[in-house]
Structure 1
Amino acid sequence: MKNFNYTRANTIQDVVDRPEPAMLIAGGTNLVDRMKVFLDEPTQVIDISRLDLKKIETTGDGLRLGALVTNTQVADFPVVRQNYPILSRAILAGASQQIRNVASVGGNLMQRTRCPYYYDTAFSCNKRQPGSGCPAATGINRMHAIFGASDKCVAVNPSDMCVALAALDAVVEVEGVSGRRQIPFSEFHRLPGNQPERDTALEEGEIITAVILPANINAKSGVYLKLRDRASYSFALISVAAILDIDNNKICNARIALGGVAHKPWRTQEAEQFLVGKAVDTTLFQQAADLALRNAQPLEHNKFKVEMSKRAIRRALMVSANGGGIA
């Protein structure tokens, strides 16, 4: 880790006016790791951990999670557990208690990819150095994308929490030099395209201030299913966040988001629309799973993710149709 200047922000405006390329730190569970292996070498680090962004508030729009609320606080919050249980389950599946106690809502959204080629500076990486190449595309790519990749990057978003937020149609509130704005969660993370170094839609100088969970969603049957190599806290091979709103055995609304398959949480909207208006049936769920994966483009070592994703979607939908709970 190289030397850097450290300052503490007292207001959001201190952060908005920060000198570039200053980096922000809250819990530090991802940034410190990257600095240790020289992925990030900031000359200025700004501590935002004391900003007034640590509240969970019920508003007319839904539930507002301050950007500095810890993952533990979100997972344990009674309204989250009651009305948005899928979010609590995703957080609990994502990390150890020690990490959840310091990791923040905003920091979770800003996690960089965990691609081993990105973390190992002995290899080239377009995310670290644009134009240098993507060795994962032709290398060991078992953990990599089957949707939305480009010839510049095939890495996946590592977050569990973000998969649940995608299924919930959350909104990200940010503040910058142009004031405050809201970004639909589906637009917050980017696909790699020709700029894999850019993970999010944040503009220069902007800071996440909150994540808003919408009030007009029946998410009590939400299921989060995570498949991984070992039961301890490891990254998902694939994960599924599924929510079915059912009335008289007919599906009124369906939400399915996948993790571990793309550079961003991946919504399967075609499959969702296919389910709406139909009666609950296991054959229907298999058809929806097939539809969700029909445009997958697996790499040499991750072809198994296609069938694994189909089975996980079917399982998650079945559990959600029965009221939710543990998948």
Structure 2
Amino acid sequence: MKPFSYERAAGLEEALDRVSHPDPPTLLAGGTNLLDLMKERIALPDALLDISRLALDRIEELPGGGLRLGALARNADTAAHPLVQERYPLLAKAILAGASPQIRNMATNGGNLMQRTRCPYFYDTDTPCNKRQPGSGCGALCGYQRLHAILGSSEECIATHPSDLCVALAALEAVVIVSGPDGERGIPFSGFHRLPGDEPQRDNNLHADEIITAIDLPPEGFPHHYSYLKIRDRRSYAFALVSVAAGVALENGTITGARVALGGVAHKPWRVPEAEARLEGRAPAEDVFLEAADTLLAGARGYGGNDFKIPLARRAVVRALAECCQLQLQPR
């Protein structure tokens, strides 16, 4: 591992001052992803600034009825929090589907948003990867593609975002709260992560001199009709081939509101409001769910090794929505 300096920030203002310098340190919170990247010599920081002890770990109610999740609250604590379990069980279920208990005990909410792809070509420094080394090429395009994107990819990169938490946050329409030199701002979750385009090395729209301080959840958490479905190669400690976060509001047998987000299929959690609009005002039914799935997956493209993800994702969306609505599907 490359030598580096280490210091601990005493407060948020000090941390913001340090990251505003021309050569800022790399922030360290739970370290569950960063330390792996350093060991593999993918991340080579000269300096680490430990922010893990800043007072950003609280979970508290918002005046309008929502909930604020501190950026440094641990994933395990977030999933176990009584207000999260009561109002946002979709989020709790998604968190518990990710990683292992040991990692969830260390990983922070803000760090989860910032984690990097698990694409094997990104981790193998002997292979080309535009995300790791812009301009070197994408080894996955003509290589091993089983875990890779079917939506929103480009010729520069077909990697996927690995998070479970983020898929639920996308479905819940969370807002990422960040602080920087110009004060505090909120980034709608749909605009936080980026598609690769021609800059695959950029994972998100956080500025270099900003720090995530919290994640705000809106009042509607779909506590009664929700599903988080994660399909993976093994049940424990595996990233999603396809995941679905879904929540619906039902009134007198009619869907009055719906949110659906996909994970494991794109460079960011994938959500298409038009797909949700196809559900609203209609009674739960398999053909209705299929319409929504087809709209959500419009333009999906496989690269050979991951072609199976397209029909898999279609069936997963239908199954997740059926679980939300407690609808028994007919066997096929």
- In the superposition, the TM-score normalised over structure 2's length comes to 0.95
How much does 1:141 deviate? Answer: 0.9
Residue in structure 2 matched with residue 40 of structure 1 by the alignment: 43
Residues 1:292 and 2:271 aligned together: no
Residues 1:135 and 2:139 aligned together: yes
Residue in structure 1 matched with residue 88 of structure 2 by the alignment: 84
2:52 equivalent among 36, 46, 49? 49
Residue in structure 2 matched with residue 222 of structure 1 by the alignment: 226
Residues 1:8 and 2:35 aligned together: no
Residues 1:310 and 2:314 aligned together: yes
Equivalent-residue separation in structure 1 for 2:60 and 2:114 (angstroms):
22
Question: How many residue pairs end up in the alignment?
Answer: 323
Residue in structure 2 matched with residue 168 of structure 1 by the alignment: 172
1:203 equivalent among 201, 207, 212? 207
Counterpart AA for 1:38: R
How much does 1:280 deviate? Answer: 1.4
Counterpart AA for 1:167: A
1:22 equivalent among 11, 25, 31? 25
Equivalent-residue separation in structure 2 for 1:175 and 1:220 (angstroms):
34
Per-residue CA distance 1:267-295 (angstroms, 9 max, x = gap): 03221111111111122112222222232
2:109 equivalent among 105, 114, 120? 105
How much does 1:216 deviate? Answer: 3.9
Conservation of the 8 A alpha-carbon contact between 1:173 and 1:211: yes
Equivalent-residue separation in structure 2 for 1:67 and 1:288 (angstroms):
33
Counterpart AA for 2:43: D
Conservation of the 8 A alpha-carbon contact between 2:88 and 2:221: no
How much does 1:9 deviate? Answer: 0.5
1:77–1:217 CA distance, 2 compared to 1 (3 A): closer
How much does 1:147 deviate? Answer: 0.5
Equivalent-residue separation in structure 2 for 1:193 and 1:288 (angstroms):
26
Conservation of the 8 A alpha-carbon contact between 1:191 and 1:263: yes
Residue in structure 2 matched with residue 58 of structure 1 by the alignment: 61
The correspondence of residues 123-272 of structure 1 with structure 2, limited to 5 A, is 123-272=127-276
- Match of 1:35, SS? helix
Which piece of structure 1 moves more, 12-21 or 133-142? 12-21
- Match of 2:256, SS? strand
Conservation of the 8 A alpha-carbon contact between 1:75 and 1:88: yes
1:189–1:132 CA distance, 2 compared to 1 (3 A): same
Conservation of the 8 A alpha-carbon contact between 2:86 and 2:223: no
Equivalent-residue separation in structure 1 for 2:3 and 2:296 (angstroms):
47
Counterpart AA for 2:184: R
Equivalent-residue separation in structure 2 for 1:216 and 1:256 (angstroms):
14
Equivalent-residue separation in structure 2 for 1:194 and 1:210 (angstroms):
29
Per-residue CA distance 1:10-57 (angstroms, 9 max, x = gap): 111222122434111111000000000000000010000110101001
| Unmatched tracts of structure 2, length 5 or more | 328-332
Equivalent-residue separation in structure 2 for 1:183 and 1:219 (angstroms):
24
- Match of 1:54, SS? coil
Equivalent-residue separation in structure 1 for 2:220 and 2:235 (angstroms):
34
Instruction: After the TM superposition, list the runs of 4 or more consecutive aligned residues in structure 1 that deviate by more than 3 angstroms.
Output: 216-220
How much does 1:81 deviate? Answer: 0.7
State the superposition RMSD in angstroms. 1.1
Residue in structure 1 matched with residue 122 of structure 2 by the alignment: 118
How much does 1:222 deviate? Answer: 1.6
Per-residue CA distance 1:220-273 (angstroms, 9 max, x = gap): 322100000011110000000011111011110111000000000000322111
Residue in structure 1 matched with residue 330 of structure 2 by the alignment: none
Conservation of the 8 A alpha-carbon contact between 2:278 and 2:288: no
- In the superposition, the TM-score normalised over structure 1's length comes to 0.96
User: Taking every aligned residue pair, what percent have the same amino acid on both sides?
Assistant: 55
Counterpart AA for 2:59: I
Equivalent-residue separation in structure 2 for 1:76 and 1:224 (angstroms):
16
Per-residue CA distance 1:201-231 (angstroms, 9 max, x = gap): 1012100000011114534322100000011
Counterpart AA for 2:76: T
Per-residue CA distance 1:113-137 (angstroms, 9 max, x = gap): 0000000000111111111111111
